[in-house]
Amino acid sequence: MAELSDVYFVDGMRTPFGRAGEKGMYWNTRADDLAVKATIGLMARNTAVPADRVDDVAIAATSQTGEQGLTLGRSVAILAGLPQTVPGFAIDRMCAGAMTSVAMMGASIGSGMYDIALAGGVEHMGHYPIGGNADPNPRFVVERMVDPGALNMGVTAERIFDRFPQLTRERSDRFGMRSQQKAQAAYDAGKYRPDLVPVAIKDAEGSWGLATEDEGRRPQTTMEDLAGLKTPFRPHGRVTAGTSSPLTDGATMSLLAGRRAVKELGLTPKMRMVSFAFAGVQPEIMGIGPIPSTEKALAKAGLTIDDIGLFELNEAFAVQVLSLLDHFGIDDDDPRVNQWGGAIALGHPLAASGVRLMIQLAAQFAERPDVRYGLTAMCVGLGQGGSVIWENPHYNGRKR
């Protein structure tokens, strides 16, 4: 008989993230193969988990077409060599796809229906630009359900500036610069490498190489550089390429398990799921979505924002993160927030990003036994937010 269970994030791995487009390192690599690489790498690192014990595979993609359109969870499971008895499915919540994969598989484990599951996401924005094959219903605009600009993420970011005058371009530029600096410092300290799965790549001349690190970083970025950038979404606007996540290709995968499987297989979880929540907001200002989703997740967990010792917030746009920090009274440079940089430096392959946040939080938990709870949160296109609160199994109750 099924029993309610704790839900554990056992492990997570990802491909290096590449710049989207013909000059990007994955231009000649299929999207589904990126997800296959992440899956193979994760299973190879977790040999204590028999492949035939995986109950389900959930893989998200925002553009579910072409290489990303054939029921990714199932097709990737087969291509990665999992037994054909392992089922799988695809899921879409735009930017929060992988986060939703984890939430749904976590709920299935928590209810006792599953013991072990794989959850992740992939996005090849070079092959499938956001909204490229989409056909939005004309009623959205004709019946004024949403403003036409709501379908352009950069326009929605400009509107956050409009709504909150204290969110200045200078603050946004500084946050973008710091993301680049923190990401490079983390690379120099070897923080990222353990969780990256190398990917064989082929260039335009047919020569083979190996992708081993994120391609889009710009660690030499200065405030002067950022001040001189154009504002593509509005004349004299405040959103620039330097304060936005770049178009990115990549895949992520996580291994989740319940209490019974952890004990039986002798697994060492990296995090325990405490709560998750998703929320809707006006599509025109989708970037504030993580504010209500975080409030809901905190309420479900019986916690307050002061209980959160580490934050991994997806940097779709700097201003979007700043709006959340201001709402909760957190300083722009608070060391708890994105301490290894974020999507402005690393990239944001839409549906893959949620698990990237979790991988980083899990690695930070291992270094910080003084921290009990952490938050992964992100905004979502069409006006949503997603948040997951995690508990650190290494927590020892001692102050740092």
- The residues assigned a catalytic role are 95, 348, 379
Cα–Cα distance, 328 to 306 (Å, whole number): 9
Torsion of CA 387, 393, 394, 399, to 10 degrees: 60
- Decide if 255 contacts 225 (C-beta within 8 A): no
Cα–Cα distance, 249 to 91 (Å, whole number): 18
Distance of CA 144 to the CA centre of its chain: 31
Half-sphere exposure at residue 395, Cβ-oriented, CA atoms within 13 angstroms: 15
Token digits of residue 286: 């989708």
Q: Which amino acid is at 283?
A: P
331: left (phi over 0), alpha (psi -120 to 50) or beta: beta
